[in-house]
Amino acid sequence: MQESTANQVAANATSSFTEHLLRDRPELLPFNRSLQGGASAAAPVQVPHATTIVAMSYGGGVLMAGDRRATMGNVIASRHIEKVFPADHFSVLGIAGTAGIAIDLTRLFQVELEHYEKIEGTQLSLEGKANRLGAMIRGNLPLALQGLAVVPLFAGFDTTAGVGRLFSYDVTGGRYEEHEHHTVGSGSVFARGALKKLWRPNLSAAEALSVAVESLYDAADDDSATGGPDTVRQLWPVVYTVDRTGARRVPEPELAAASRRVIEARTIAGREA
């Protein structure tokens, strides 16, 4: 009986792990759930939310950064949450919205890409990865309408075109390619203002890191749900760069140095706003 079941599962296998789960074990999908207790969009349940993510192109690749704060209403739920993850060797994913569902979707997306590579013997194109992520976000729409939305940023290095590319999404799974830079989350409006002033074409990776830290600092300055660099707890943003060599997490000593430069410059300026 077990052998017969295993053979049936193997025979039905596709290059999409999400489709496989949807057909055989739909209850395992993070978005195939319903709220309990009559919760609705008018009165959503209180759960931790991840906030500000920034991403930008630079000379040779793309960079993505996220602050470390998660909030639950007016309460800081976590100061240590990570919101930027490697999707595979040449792409990264940043999450904003309902933290638990977003993290589950991220893990599912990572498995989706790994499964495709094992079945097909080759990596999915960057465009294909962006499309698959959009389909997964669309699957979460029923929960999004009940107040549990997930809105990610996706970025990677297109090995065919030889350039870094950046994609944003809406809650319906709509996919939009962004040029230059983009932000999502509660502090995005303030981070975007900083990016418009500080970003320029062909930044170096080090310059892009400084711009990212500066924009997150601006977001934290005006948005209570965004956490800035914390020198007391030694907490810095999570930052990844992706270029033709692959995804790289920026080490904490580099982040600490970049954050301290921003703090020192603002201390010297002595400005109120």
Go through 162-186 and write b for each residue having 16 or more CB atoms within 10 A of its CB, e for each that does not.
eebbbbbbebebebeebeebbbbbb
User: Where are the extended beta strands (E) located within 120-268?
Assistant: 153-158, 163-169, 175-178, 181-184, 238-243, 246-249
Contact between 132 and 109 under an 8 Å Cβ cutoff? The reply is yes
- 51 as an active site residue: the answer is yes
First to last CA, the chain: 70
Q: Strand, helix or coil at 42?
A: coil
Beta bridge partners of 70: 50, 78
- Point out the catalytic residue in the list 14, 18, 51, 226: 51
- Residue 255 CA to residue 239 CA, distance in Å, equals 8
| Residue entry with tokens 């944003």 | 168
Q: Which residues belong to the active site? A: 51
